[in-house]
Amino acid sequence: MISREFLYENVRNRVLDMIDTGLLYPGEKVPSLRRMSEQLGVSISTVMKAYVELERTGHLETKPQSGHYVSGSAKAAVPSPPAFSTASEPMAVDLSGLYTSFMRAMTNPDILPFGAAVPSDELLPSRELSRLAKKIGDENPQLVHSYGYAEGEPALRQQIALRMLDAGVSVDPDDIIITCGATEAINLALRAVTRPGDTVVVESPCWFGYLLMIESMGLKALEIPTDAERGPNLEALAEAMARFDVKAAVLQPNFGNPLGGLYPEETRRELCKLLGRSGVAIIEDDIYGELSYEGKRPKSLMAHDRYGMVMHVNAYSKTLSPGSRVGWIIPGRLHRDILRLKISSTLVTARLPQLVIARFLAEGRDIRCLRKLRTAIRSQTATYSAHIARYFPEGTVISRPLGGYVLWVGLDPATDGQKLYKDALRNRIGIVPGMMYSSQERYTNFIRINCGHPWSGRIQEGLKTLGALAQEATG
Amino acid sequence: MISREFLYENVRNRVLDMIDTGLLYPGEKVPSLRRMSEQLGVSISTVMKAYVELERTGHLETKPQSGHYVSGSAKAAVPSPPAFSTASEPMAVDLSGLYTSFMRAMTNPDILPFGAAVPSDELLPSRELSRLAKKIGDENPQLVHSYGYAEGEPALRQQIALRMLDAGVSVDPDDIIITCGATEAINLALRAVTRPGDTVVVESPCWFGYLLMIESMGLKALEIPTDAERGPNLEALAEAMARFDVKAAVLQPNFGNPLGGLYPEETRRELCKLLGRSGVAIIEDDIYGELSYEGKRPKSLMAHDRYGMVMHVNAYSKTLSPGSRVGWIIPGRLHRDILRLKISSTLVTARLPQLVIARFLAEGRDIRCLRKLRTAIRSQTATYSAHIARYFPEGTVISRPLGGYVLWVGLDPATDGQKLYKDALRNRIGIVPGMMYSSQERYTNFIRINCGHPWSGRIQEGLKTLGALAQEATG
């Protein structure tokens, strides 16, 4: 006869597994006592005992008349990283060397893909897109290979205009300019509104791509402390604007990289007012906007803009096809300037990838595809997070993203993140060192982990090894 | 009975037609007396009489013991445009408005395509490339849609390195960086070696794309008089360099746009020395290098470079697929800088177009394709030229290109080229007004004609209308 103790452990482990692997997410309802009893073939009282114990250890919580829920506390044991509180002096940036090394690691298939913020191939509709490419090539090979429009394919711009309605923005297809990914869009926007020596506001931490552009254009980055829940610190921003002649701000209101947060409504309104009334160009990078774990696509900052100062930037690189390099910008009254810059930067965007994505969108195939993707990355991120909490040294903090692919992981302040990056690479594990998220040698004890790849034994092993390396690096 | 006079006219017209339509090119042998007599069913003496008359009017010439040849004089009646002789002051550039209008006309299929310098779709291997795209998509759809390398696909760089040997340049595939067309390559090169306010040497006349970039970067264009046969005026260049602090030169030694000339060996050597020893970066745009009418691919300026100052820029936009946007740069010792700029400009180049062209090259299919293209455009350019000489006002001058797609046509100095451009557009004829080839309001009486489209009645009508409009514009 099997002992009651064993049966009880069985239930407990099942629930912990479901939490660990992201099958159950904080705030979600755990299977009812009856259901679990049936599934595992144990008595209801055994399940009840296990649930009470899990409540005691902080993994579950009860809601009156409703049942048991996964508490935030499985992660709450791991606090999210604190933001620093005042803006820095504007600084010239020097990160390219590190970035080149990182890019090289990112494209090596032998290296565990915790580096670049991209989903695994299997989560993307590559096969469907390839079929469409075939079809379009058969229908009109000459169209595909002739120069297109500097503004981009009309059919694509029309589909994008339709989808912008979900982001609370009503634009004419002619207001949209197609670019070689979001990178070109941001690059053109910055070039349109700044001159060398100018100051540009960025979040801190922020995507290193911005810092590289700022470096390459001879601009200065002004880093504003940013919190996943509250967005950029508006007081710090106002103070900085009083001290420096800020020309532009590059922001990610929706599931920004690396924090994965969402600016509150109030912050959006205030931000648009504060920057807009000072004539500061707001470049909104919404590349993760479609990747909400909740499923609801948040609004664009453009929806709050009363001053015509927001330029919206986006791309299909994080949702449909990184390799197609199809992005766009809605430059508002700078349309003419941006189009000129586009012409002198890359003339036109590659035509076939535009035609393929336009057709994919026109057939409405992106809807199902995005739903599948959101479900997968929500679960993956939870699973990765749970294992980082398990394997990493005590004192580790982990971000609690609401969307996107990445976790922002803070280690003991004495940890040398760059050394950890190199040690990890030696163990064939790619990560991004936190210092790349600032021009100020901040975040040296942070790393960013991409959770875009489905959970597997290899990935679990990788995180375990990374945890051990982090432990070593702490000393 | 048919009169001898009629038969004689018959022979004469046949030869003139062959010259006009480019079936016979200046310097080529005319069918022998016997052959022509058989083909037209007339006596040898009638053919002889016609040939002698054609010699008298300057259309044919004889070589002893060899027969009759098309003389240069069918065109020599139309002189090529003279170059001006001293360099200008460096100037800020303002051409974008005109360019935007021109780009719009260029993408309208209802407008006769004498504008953009591109071949007709039917001269490009669009169908073959589309078949390869299908194949590659079937083999590995996930590869196609994932991020590639910032440097570009290794397989493509390998094929390009092989072909660079024909241009007299031996490079490692890792010395090559793939870009979104030649436009991005030139843009990156200019950004790597200049700062706003710097002076950049260009040919005069030169492709307006350079002038647009120079404008967008806040640089100054220093125009050096350039002659189709002798290349840039080196004395004028040396003088200008003594007066101004020149940082870079953008040049087209091989079949440049719009002149279609070829720098002599001596000019190449001197140019590399003059600029190289002053540390002036030489950006060689070789986009027409493969389009020699003679069939022999001329050398890259890199082959003459002893100072490490030449950056080679190229693309497949004029030879295989304009819409694919696949170009490259060989930046030499600026490799690191250019790669950084590439990353912050467009991150990576679209992957599928790179993979398709790499496969096309690996299978050696470009060789036959280029041969066909060269033959076609050589004949087309001759035909267009002959008809311009026929339909345009007296005093018109026409360039005599050795390669490429375009003719540079000079009208009476009093002609308003911009008005002609607008009149032509109203008649659904696209041309490029000459004033776009300078920042100095030069070439206002010039137009550029693309000869990339096979000869047809519609095109003949178009040139006839254009000639009539030019006649009107002269008054």
- What's chain B's length in residues? 475
The CA distance from B432 to B437, in Å, is: 9
Cα–Cα distance list, A84 to A81, A87, A88, A225, A226 (Å) = 10, 8, 10, 6, 8
* Closest approach of B343 to chain A, Cα-based (Å): 8
pLDDT at A92: 61
Judged against a pLDDT cut of 70, whether residue B181 lies above it is answered with yes
The CA distance from B125 to B288, in Å, is: 17
Q: State the maximum Cα–Cα separation within chain B, in Å, rounded to a whole number.
A: 80
Give the range among A59-63, A211-215, B390-394 with minimum mean pLDDT.
A59-63
Angle of helix B335-345 relative to helix A96-106, nearest 10 degrees, comes to 70
Chosen from A101, A129, A147 to mutate, greatest number of chain B CBs within 10 A? A147
Q: What is the mean pLDDT of chain A?
A: 90
Please enumerate in sequence order all residues whose Cβ is within 8 A of that of B439, keeping only pairs 6 or more positions apart, or say none: B91, B92, B93, B94, B95, B211, B214, B215, B221, B223
- The candidate with the shortest Cα–Cα distance to B390, out of B177, B120, B12, B78, is B78
Helix (H) or strand (E) holding B200: strand B199-204
Judged against a pLDDT cut of 70, whether residue B75 lies above it is answered with no
Question: A residues 232-271 near B, CB within 8 Å?
Answer: none
Do the beta carbons of residue B36 and residue B11 sit within 8 Å? yes
pLDDT at B56: 85
Judged against a pLDDT cut of 80, whether residue A227 lies above it is answered with yes
Exposure class string for B460-469: b at 16+ Cβ within 10 A, else e? bebbebbbeb
Predicted confidence band at A6 (pLDDT cuts at 50, 70, 90)?
confident
Residue B202, helix vs strand vs coil? strand
Minimum-distance CB partner of A352 among B133, B146, B147: B133
Judged against a pLDDT cut of 60, whether residue A2 lies above it is answered with no
Q: Which residues does chain A have within 8 Å of residue B122's beta carbon, measured at their own beta carbons?
A: 142
The CA distance from A257 to A254, in Å, is: 9
Residue A328's CB is within 10 A of a number of other CB atoms, namely: 26
Q: Is A92 on the interface with B (CB under 8 A)?
A: no
- State whether B126 and A134 contact (CB < 8 Å): no
- The candidate with the shortest Cα–Cα distance to B314, out of B292, B353, B335, B287, is B287
Give the range among A69-78, A121-130, B34-43, B219-228 with minimum mean pLDDT.
A69-78
Residue B459 has φ and ψ, to the nearest 5°, of -70, -40
Judged against a pLDDT cut of 50, whether residue B74 lies above it is answered with no
Question: B residues 137-156 near A, CB within 8 Å?
Answer: 137-138, 141-150
Do the beta carbons of residue B429 and residue B470 sit within 8 Å? no
* Closest approach of A208 to chain B, Cα-based (Å): 10
Judged against a pLDDT cut of 90, whether residue A264 lies above it is answered with yes
Residue B178 tokens read as 């793939």
Q: Is B345 on the interface with A (CB under 8 A)?
A: yes
Minimum-distance CB partner of B351 among A124, A323, A339: A323
Give the range among A253-257, B49-53, B326-330 with minimum mean pLDDT.
B49-53
For chain A, which residues make up each domain, given as ranges? 4-70, 125-365
The CA distance from B434 to B413, in Å, is: 12
Q: Which residues does chain B have within 8 Å of residue A323's beta carbon, measured at their own beta carbons?
A: 143-148, 348, 350-352
- State whether B107 and A149 contact (CB < 8 Å): yes
Predicted confidence band at A74 (pLDDT cuts at 50, 70, 90)?
very low
- The candidate with the shortest Cα–Cα distance to A287, out of A253, A248, A338, is A253
- State whether B191 and A141 contact (CB < 8 Å): no
- State whether B325 and A133 contact (CB < 8 Å): no
Return the CATH number of the domain spanning residue range B125-365: 3.40.640.10
User: Average pLDDT, stretch A162-175?
Assistant: 95
- State whether B142 and A133 contact (CB < 8 Å): no
pLDDT at B365: 96
- What percent of chain B lies above the pLDDT cut of 70? 92
Judged against a pLDDT cut of 50, whether residue B122 lies above it is answered with yes
Q: What is the pLDDT of residues B327-376, one digit of tens each?
A: 999 999 999 999 999 999 999 999 999 999 999 999 999 999 999 999 99
User: Average pLDDT, stretch B90-118?
Assistant: 74
Best mean pLDDT range from A90-99, A334-343, B106-115 = A334-343
Give the range among A16-30, A196-210, B392-406 with minimum mean pLDDT.
A16-30
Q: What is the pLDDT of residues B128-156, one digit of tens each?
A: 999 999 999 999 988 899 888 899 999 99
Q: Which residues does chain B have within 8 Å of residue A152's beta carbon, measured at their own beta carbons?
A: none
- State whether A346 and B121 contact (CB < 8 Å): no
- State whether A344 and B181 contact (CB < 8 Å): no
- The candidate with the shortest Cα–Cα distance to A93, out of B340, B109, B203, is B340
Chosen from B329, B346, B351 to mutate, greatest number of chain A CBs within 10 A? B346
- State whether A124 and B145 contact (CB < 8 Å): yes
Sign of CA dihedral B184, B190, B192, B197: negative
pLDDT at B73: 42
Strand ordering across the sheet containing A432-433: A397-398, A406-410, A446-450, A432-433
* Closest approach of B209 to chain A, Cα-based (Å): 7
Exposure class string for B297-324: b at 16+ Cβ within 10 A, else e? bbbbbbbbbeeebbbbbbbbbbbbbbbb
- The candidate with the shortest Cα–Cα distance to A209, out of B206, B18, B343, is B343
A17 or B296: which leads in pLDDT: B296
Within B9-124, strands assigned E span 60-63, 67-70, 112-113
Write the burial class of residue B337 (CB in 10 Å: 0-12 exposed, 13-18 middle, 19+ buried): middle
Please state the pTM of the whole predicted model: 0.83
Do the beta carbons of residue A379 and residue A23 sit within 8 Å? yes
Judged against a pLDDT cut of 50, whether residue A73 lies above it is answered with no
Tell which phi-psi region holds residue B22, choosing left (phi > 0), alpha (psi between -120 and 50) or beta. Answer: left
The CA distance from B462 to B468, in Å, is: 10
User: Average pLDDT, stretch B163-187?
Assistant: 96
pLDDT at B87: 65
Cα–Cα distance list, A17 to A11, A52, A383, B119, B290 (Å) = 10, 17, 9, 62, 63
SS3 sequence of chain A = CCCHHHHHHHHHHHHHHHHHCCCCCCCCECCCHHHHHHHHCCCHHHHHHHHHHHHHCCCEEEECCCEEEECCHHHHCCCCCCCCCCCCCCECCCCHHHHHHHHHHHCCCCCEECCCCCCCHHHCCHHHHHHHHHHHHHHCHHHHHCCCCCCCCHHHHHHHHHHHHHHCCCCCHHHCEEEEHHHHHHHHHHHHHCCCCCEEEEEECCCHHHHHHHHHCCCEEEEEEEECCCEECHHHHHHHHHHCCEEEEEECCECCCCCCCECCHHHHHHHHHHHHCCCCEEEEECCCCCCECCCCCCCCHHHHCCCCCEEEEEECCCCCCHHHCEEEEECHHHHHHHHHHHHHHHCCCCHHHHHHHHHHHHCCCHHHHHHHHHHHHHHHHHHHHHHHHHHCCCCCEECCCCECCEEEEECCCCCCHHHHHHHHHHCCEECEEHHHHCCCCCCCCEEEEECCCCCCHHHHHHHHHHHHHHHHHHC
Q: Are strands A281-285 and A310-315 parallel, antiparallel or unpaired?
A: parallel
Q: What is the pLDDT of residues A178-190, one digit of tens each?
A: 999 999 999 999 9
- State whether A184 and B345 contact (CB < 8 Å): yes
Q: What is the pLDDT of residues B307-321, one digit of tens each?
A: 999 999 999 999 999
Do the beta carbons of residue B213 and residue B189 sit within 8 Å? no
Chosen from A101, A138, A341, A346 to mutate, greatest number of chain B CBs within 10 A? A346
Residue B59, helix vs strand vs coil? coil
- State whether B121 and A133 contact (CB < 8 Å): no
Q: Is B107 on the interface with A (CB under 8 A)?
A: yes
Q: Is A352 on the interface with B (CB under 8 A)?
A: yes
Chosen from A191, A337, A345 to mutate, greatest number of chain B CBs within 10 A? A345
Do the beta carbons of residue A169 and residue A302 sit within 8 Å? yes
Q: What is the mean pLDDT of chain B?
A: 90
Residue A421 tokens read as 């990056």
- What percent of chain A lies above the pLDDT cut of 90? 67
Do the beta carbons of residue A252 and residue A280 sit within 8 Å? no
Q: Are strands B199-204 and B246-251 parallel, antiparallel or unpaired?
A: parallel
Q: Are strands B231-232 and B220-227 parallel, antiparallel or unpaired?
A: antiparallel
Give the range among A454-463, B58-67, B425-434 with minimum mean pLDDT.
B58-67
pLDDT at A7: 80
Cα–Cα distance list, B308 to B134, B201, B246, B279, B342 (Å) = 41, 18, 17, 9, 21
- Domain formed by A4-70, architecture: Orthogonal Bundle (1.10)
- Chains A–B, number of C-beta pairs less than 8 Å apart: 226
Q: What is the pLDDT of residues B264-322, one digit of tens each?
A: 999 999 999 999 999 999 999 999 999 999 988 999 999 999 999 999 999 999 999 99
Q: What is the pLDDT of residues A373-422, one digit of tens each?
A: 999 999 999 999 999 999 999 999 999 999 999 999 999 999 988 889 88
Question: A residues 272-331 near B, CB within 8 Å?
Answer: 317, 320-325
Taking CA–CA distances from B351, the nearest residue in chain A reads A323
Residue A183 tokens read as 């990178």
pLDDT at A76: 40
B70 bridge partner residues = B60
* Closest approach of B229 to chain A, Cα-based (Å): 29
pLDDT at A223: 94
Question: What letter would DSSP give residue B395?
Answer: T
- The candidate with the shortest Cα–Cα distance to A269, out of A242, A296, A234, is A234
Helix and strand numbers (H, E) in chain B are 17, 16
